[in-house]
């Protein structure tokens, strides 16, 4: 009897999980569906779900109008570069906070996070002026650094949480065996923290990919990533929802595929240490 | 050096330096709308003729405004040409942020630009941006529904007639709303619409001493009229409808009338997108009975050059090309007269082929009926019809229009919204040092 109830419960849980999952995914699904409609079908009332004349016309128009590959390449460089740079800075920082904490470590962690609470536009002008001075406007280098900096608090926090799960004694043992600091971090800590680091990298990559304030405000023609590509299809005077949807689908497709393949690591990393 | 090698080096050097001399590249920031996108398609012809390469940065209007404002105020130098409107141009021109366009070639014929646009894009008589296209607002209505209702739309209707016609065409059983109007918050959306409506009821934003005028009876009359008209014959949720939402409703045959930008005429009469393409008539934007000012606005998207660009000459060359008579003819030859950028040049309206376009005359009449230097019945200290050309206006009007939209949505009364608008505006104007 008890078993039957469990089974029922399990089915119910599965159903609820699917329902919630579909609800969250629905806007993306709708965007993808709209990208295959004509502009007239896109605004049809009642909305058309699956039964319409599917067309690839929007993708053709978008391809013709914009250099998708250039935007894609910029996105890859910016997201990849800022993630790599962030990890290089954050691993040592998180190591020191987790294993050799000082009296102020907690405060520093909170202070770092507090920088995320300021609206980005509040520092737009100072950063813009700095960029002009340094000649970094519309450059991938400048934007990579900014993206790294804005995501750094999250990376450090995530890594700090993972590192805390690792017993300090293991590192101590490595030190006793004569490992240098570099060797300790590189050969002992890092391999143990791989799941955590992997999910941090993935999350940071996704955050940098989707960042749409700095990437729009600090770029013009050369360094503009896919966020600018999408923004170029949004129009206040004219109905271009189908084309906008096609551009959006093309912009999110790479990250969606990446997320799909790495969902195991992502879930594992994000729930790491959640249940004790 | 080996002769062959030195020859190669020389050739390479010539290519590099020669290439650098020819391939000047200008960067243009622009909005994403049909006419601008079409222009991008013809850029190759400009490059072929001049050797100047063009890079486009296309952005959504609000993003673009924020982006170019940041750049021009900090002298970032990211753009050689910016697409700006009638609101920014005089303010930026006065600040010395734009290159004056006072030396355009005789061939360009600057006097051919429609006078209303030219004055709106100038400061102290100097032109600071060249209009690519101009628009006003007008009534678009369903001729078939009008006929069915046994009414005839006058060329210059009053708001009272609009209400009568809305009542006659409103048909909830068939999902037809008498009238669709903007209610969405934002200074350029619902804010612009209610401002011109108020003008046509004799209201104004400020008196001569920059005191807000929302406590005056004209504003109350305008807002009361709008809310009652829309509650009775407007679509559900009109408080969140902007240009695009209403365009979509009208194209699907769900509006008897729609009063909005003249540029919409080409969309609603295009059979590919609109189910009512064959049944659309046009009339001047209405006024309230006895008030001399009508509710039509004036707007232009124009090309300006930020001061401090290194490529001023090339930028001017592009502007002359893109806003010329030749460009209009180029588009007409390839895509037909209905698709040329409207509302910028007098000569366009003298072209016999263009006179056949159904909305041409009404667009011209609407633009000519708008005077940004004399927008209201009572005197005002500002320039602008659907806006007040001061830098503080965008912020103030966005907040005010949010209060109005809340009243449209039934979250507060018209009186409450007007009282809040009065306070918001006076406080902001005081802080800015006008009062």
Residue closest to B145 by CA, chosen among B119, B97, B98, B179: B179
**Domain boundaries, position A153:** 67-232
CA distance B43 to chain A (A): 12
- Would you state the structure tokens that stand for residue B392, as one six-digit string? 């503080």
Quick check: is A190 in a domain?
Answer: yes
Asked if residue B16 has pLDDT above 80, the reply is: no
**Rounded Cα distance, B401 and B406, in Å:** 8
Q: Say if residues A233 and A243 touch (Cβ distance below 8 Å).
A: yes
pLDDT band, very low/low/confident/very high, at B2 (cuts 50, 70, 90)? low
Nearest to A220 among B27, B247, B252 (CB): B27
List the pLDDT tens digit at each of the 276 positions of chain A: 455 568 888 999 999 999 999 999 999 999 999 999 988 888 877 888 888 889 999 999 899 888 899 999 999 999 999 999 999 999 999 989 998 889 999 999 999 888 888 898 899 999 999 999 999 999 999 999 999 999 999 999 999 988 888 888 888 898 888 888 888 888 888 888 888 888 899 989 999 999 999 999 999 989 999 999 998 888 777 778 899 999 999 999 999 898 888 887 777 766 665 444
DSSP state of B341: P
| Number of structural domains found in chain A | 1
Distance from CA of A45 to the nearest CA of B (A): 8
Please answer yes or no on whether A239 and B58 come within 8 Å at the CB atom: no
Q: Residue A37 falls within a domain, yes or no?
A: no
Angle value at C-alpha A136, between A135 and A137, nearest 5 degrees: 100
Q: Is the pLDDT of residue B21 over 70?
A: no
Q: For residue B64, what pLDDT is reported?
A: 87
Contact B263 A232 (CB under 8 A): no
Binary contact (B55, A233; C-beta < 8 A): no
**Contacts A–B by Cβ distance under 8 A:** 97
CA distance B308 to chain A (A): 13
Q: What is the pLDDT of residues B106-144, one digit of tens each?
A: 999 999 999 999 989 999 999 999 999 999 999 999 999
And the tokens for A124?
């737009």
Query: Closest partner residue to B67 among A132, A216, A238, by Cβ?
Result: A216
| Stretch (H or E) spanning A66 | none
**pLDDT (tens digit, 9 = 90+) per residue, B90-107?**
999 999 999 999 999 999
B44 interfaces chain A, CB cutoff of 8 Å: no
Angstrom distance (rounded) from CA B167 to CA B177: 9
Quote the pLDDT of residue B19: 42
CATH tag, B136-296+373-431: 3.40.190.10
Q: Are B302 and B174 in contact (CB under 8 A)?
A: no
3-state secondary structure at position B214:
coil
Chain B touched by A55 (CB under 8 Å): no
Interface of B with A in 264-323 (CB under 8 A): 264, 267, 272-273
Whole-angstrom Cα Rg for chain B:
24
A73 within 8 A of A225, measured Cβ to Cβ: no
**pLDDT by residue (tens digit) across B380-415?**
999 899 999 999 999 999 999 999 999 999 999 999
Residue B14: pLDDT band with limits 50, 70, 90: very low
Cα angle B187, B190, B193 (rounded to 5 degrees) comes to 100
Task: Provide DSSP, B372-412.
Answer: TTS-SSS--SS--SSS--STTHHHHHHHHHHHHHHHHTTSS
Contact residues, chain A, for B263 at CB < 8 Å: 237
The reply to whether B136-296+373-431 shares the fold of B11-135+298-360 is: yes
Query: Does the residue A58 lie in any domain?
Result: no
**A6, part of any domain:** no
* pLDDT, tens digit, 9 for 90 and up, residues B37-66: 889 999 999 999 999 999 999 988 878 888
A43 interaction partners in chain B (CB closer than 8 Å): 248, 251-252
Q: Is residue A242 part of a domain?
A: no
Average pLDDT over residues B177-192: 94
* Residue B20: pLDDT over 50: no
pTM score over 0.90: no
Closest CA to B317 of B67, B53, B78, B72: B53
Q: Is the minimum CB–CB distance between A124 and chain B shorter than 8 Å?
A: yes
* Rounded-to-integer distance, Cα A159 and Cα A156, Å: 5
Q: Identify the weakest region by mean pLDDT among B60-74, B108-122, B332-346.
A: B60-74
The structure tokens listed for B252 are: 């699907």
Which one, of B347, B199, B220, B169, lies nearest residue B285 by Cα?
B199
B13 has pLDDT over 60: no
* Residue in chain B nearest A228 by alpha carbon: B59
Ramachandran angles phi, psi of B227, nearest 5°:
-65, -40
Domain B11-135+298-360 has CATH 3.10.180.10: no
Contacts of B74 in chain A (CB under 8 A): 125, 128-129, 132
Domain range summary for chain B, segments of one domain joined by +: 11-135+298-360, 136-296+373-431
> What ipTM did this prediction achieve?
0.81
Q: What is the pLDDT of residue A6?
A: 83
- Rounded distance, CA B230 to CA B181, Å? 8
The domain that holds A163 is classified in CATH as 1.10.3720.10
**Angle (nearest 5°) at CA A61 between A56 and A67:** 120
The tens digit of pLDDT for each residue in B276-327 reads: 999 999 999 999 999 999 999 999 999 999 998 999 999 999 999 999 999 9
> Mean pLDDT, chain B, as a whole number?
91
């Amino acid at each position: 009897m008890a078993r039957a109830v469990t089974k029922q419960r399990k089915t119910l849980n599965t159903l609820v999980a699917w329902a919630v999952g579909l609800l969250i995914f629905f806007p993306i699904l709708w965007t993808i569906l709209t990208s295959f409609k004509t502009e007239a079908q896109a605004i049809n009332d009642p909305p058309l779900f699956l039964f319409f004349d599917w067309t690839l016309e929007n993708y053709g128009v978008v391809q013709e109008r914009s250099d998708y590959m250039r935007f894609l390449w910029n996105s890859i460089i910016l997201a990849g570069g800022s993630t790599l740079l962030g990890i290089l800075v954050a691993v040592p920082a998180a190591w020191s906070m987790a294993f050799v904490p000082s009296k102020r470590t907690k405060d520093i962690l909170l202070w770092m996070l507090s920088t995320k609470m300021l609206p980005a536009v509040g520092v737009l002008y100072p950063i813009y002026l700095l960029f002009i001075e340094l000649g970094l406007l519309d450059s991938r280098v400048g934007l990579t650094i900014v993206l790294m900096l804005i995501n750094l608090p999250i990376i450090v926090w995530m890594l700090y949480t993972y590192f805390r799960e690792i017993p300090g004694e293991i590192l101590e043992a490595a030190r006793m065996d004569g490992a240098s600091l570099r060797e300790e971090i590189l050969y002992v800590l890092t391999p143990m923290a791989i799941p955590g680091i992997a999910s941090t990298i993935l999350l940071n990559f996704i955050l940098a990919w989707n960042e749409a304030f700095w990437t729009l405000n600090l770029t013009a023609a050369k360094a503009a990533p896919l966020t600018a590509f999408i923004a170029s299809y949004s129009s206040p005077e004219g109905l271009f929802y189908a084309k906008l949807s096609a551009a959006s689908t093309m912009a999110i497709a790479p990250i969606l595929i990446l997320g799909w393949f790495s969902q195991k690591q992502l879930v594992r990393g994000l729930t790491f240490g959640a249940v004790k | 050096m080996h002769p062959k090698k030195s020859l190669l080096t020389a050739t390479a050097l010539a290519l590099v330096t020669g290439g650098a001399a020819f391939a000047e590249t200008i960067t243009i920031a622009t909005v994403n709308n049909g006419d601008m996108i079409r222009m991008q398609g013809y850029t190759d012809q400009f490059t072929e003729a001049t050797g100047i390469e063009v890079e486009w940065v296309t952005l959504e209007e609000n993003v673009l405004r924020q982006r170019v404002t940041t750049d021009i105020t900090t002298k970032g130098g990211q753009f050689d040409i910016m697409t700006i409107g009638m609101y920014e141009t005089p303010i930026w021109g006065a600040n010395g942020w734009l290159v004056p366009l006072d030396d355009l070639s005789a061939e360009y014929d600057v006097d051919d630009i429609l006078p209303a646009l030219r004055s709106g894009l100038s400061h102290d008589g100097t032109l600071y941006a060249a209009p690519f296209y101009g628009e006003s607002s007008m009534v678009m209505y369903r001729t078939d529904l009008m006929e069915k209702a046994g009414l005839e739309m006058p060329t210059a209707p009053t708001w009272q007639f609009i209400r009568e016609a809305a009542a006659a065409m409103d048909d909830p059983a068939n999902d037809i709303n008498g009238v669709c109007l903007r209610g969405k918050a934002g200074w350029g959306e619902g804010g612009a619409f209610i401002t011109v409506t108020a003008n046509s009821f004799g209201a104004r934003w400020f008196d001569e001493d920059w005191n807000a005028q929302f406590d005056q009876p004209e504003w109350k009359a305008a807002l009361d009229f709008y809310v009652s008209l829309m509650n009775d014959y407007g679509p559900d949720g009109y408080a969140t409808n902007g240009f695009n939402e209403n365009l979509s409703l009208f194209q699907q045959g769900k509006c008897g009338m729609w009063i909005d930008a003249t540029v919409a005429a080409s969309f609603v009469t295009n059979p590919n997108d609109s189910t009512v393409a064959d049944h659309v008539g046009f009339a001047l934007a209405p006024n309230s009975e006895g008030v001399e000012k009508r509710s039509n606005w004036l707007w232009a998207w124009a090309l300006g050059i930020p001061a401090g660009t290194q490529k001023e000459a090339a930028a001017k060359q592009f502007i002359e090309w893109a806003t010329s008579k030749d460009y209009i003819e180029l588009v007409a030859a390839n895509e037909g007269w209905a698709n040329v950028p409207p509302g910028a040049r007098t000569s366009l309206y003298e072209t016999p082929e263009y006179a056949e376009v159904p909305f041409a005359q009404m667009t011209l009449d609407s633009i000519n009926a708008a005077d940004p230097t004399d927008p209201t019945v009572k005197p005002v200290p500002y320039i602008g019809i659907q806006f007040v050309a001061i830098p503080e206006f965008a912020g103030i009007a966005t907040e005010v229009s949010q209060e109005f939209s809340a009243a449209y949505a039934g979250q507060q009364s018209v009186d409450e919204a007007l009282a809040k608008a009065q306070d918001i505006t006076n406080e902001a104007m005081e802080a800015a040092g006008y009062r």
